[in-house]
Amino acid sequence: MTNFIRATIIGVFFLSFSVSAMAQEICDNGIDDDGDGLVDCFDPDCSGSGSCTDFFFGNPVLCENDPDAQEFAFDLQWASPNTSVQS
C-alpha cells in the first residue's frame, strides 16, 4: 500500500471520529444526531429545550390529584389439590 493511500485512510478515520464527536442533538427531529443512542427528549442534551418542556424524562413529575386508593381483596375462584397439576 502506498504512503498516500495509507495517509488518506488514516485521515478519513480521524476526520470521521472528530465530526461524530462534535455532533449535537437536534431536539425535535426524531433522529439520534449525536450518536449516543438517545433520541431527542430522551437525550439529556435536550433537557430544558423548548420542544421537551412537557416531556416526562428528566423533568420532575408533578401529580395534580392524589390517588383514590381503596381497599381491595382477591377471591380464590379455582384451586387444585396439591401435586395434581404441573406448572
Residue 48 has pLDDT above 70, yes or no: yes
Task: Give the mean pLDDT of 28-41.
Answer: 89
Measured CA to CA, the distance from residue 32 to residue 36 in angstroms comes to 7
With beta carbons less than 8 A apart as the criterion, state whether 29 and 41 touch: no
**Could you tell me the three cell numbers for 20?**
461524530
Q: What is the mean pLDDT of the chain?
A: 75
Q: List the single range of 6-10, 12-16, 28-32, 79-83 with lowest mean pLDDT.
A: 12-16
- Could you give the residue ranges of the DSSP H alpha helices within 1-87? 3-22
User: How is residue 32 written as a grid cell?
Assistant: 439520534
Is the overall model pTM greater than 0.75, yes or no?
no
Find out whether 49 and 39 touch, Cβ atoms under 8 Å.
no
CB 33 within 8 A of CB 24: yes
What is the average pLDDT across 30-47?
87
